[in-house]
Amino acid sequence: MTEPSAPQTLGDVDDAQSDAVQHVVRFLRLAWHRRQYVFASLGAVVLLGCAYYFTATPLYQASASLLVTTSGPDIWNANAPTPTGRENRLPTYERLFSSAIVLEGAVARLEAMPAETRIDFTGESRERWLETLSDNLSARGVRNTDIIEISYRSRSREAAVAVVDAVVQSYLEFMERHHRDVSVEIISILDKERTQVEQNLVAQQRKLLDLKRNVRDLGLREGDKVVHPVVQRVVELNQSIVEA
């Protein structure tokens, strides 16, 4: 069984504070005696910092923001519920900025610009341009919004702006081409369906004409209660064509 410790008295607290003060005084006295080494160390740190500041290559960053929207009647409705697919949609668009097809389009645009815009690719082969571009490029979605922020770090202010513009234009061109291809595909499907309906209608009309030739007389006189089966078939076929 452990014995309860005695409560700390005021004298013990004063002794502890006195020891702390003595340690601080001892440290300051030691630092004063070694002041040459302390000042030399501080001077060396300052010199190294200045050397790094004046010799390090400066980096510049350019940024752009894109609003991702979907078509629909509620796009500008403030009371409309938050799209449930936002969490799944934005990461897809973010990854498109680092895709090979978008980066290749951006590089192709940069090749048509002045050489100063390609300063980050100096000394590298054409095959490594995409890797360098991807390493310095960043695309991330802003939390709880439909906005994607794109930024690029470069050794030149003009190059950073040019690269961001090239990447954004390449992305927009890809999206436009993608939507155009989808629209063309939808039109092609609808055109095929229309052609099929027209062919079915022509086939039904041919059947109707064949039945008319076989029956010869399609007049239904008032008061007739008995209809020939072939006539009834022609009437039903004609009704189906009208409803179609």
Q: What angle do CA 164, 106, 92 make, to 5 degrees?
A: 80
Residue 241 Cα distances to 186, 212, 227, 230, angstroms: 27, 15, 20, 17
The pLDDT of 29-34, averaged and rounded, is 74
> Given this model, what pLDDT does residue 222 score?
45
DSSP helix, strand, coil percent of the chain (3-state; round to 5): 65, 10, 25
> Given this model, what pLDDT does residue 43 score?
76
The whole-model pTM stands at: 0.56
Domain 58-71+83-186 class? alpha beta
> Given this model, what pLDDT does residue 51 score?
66
pLDDT tens digits for range 188-218: 777 778 888 888 888 888 877 777 666 555 4
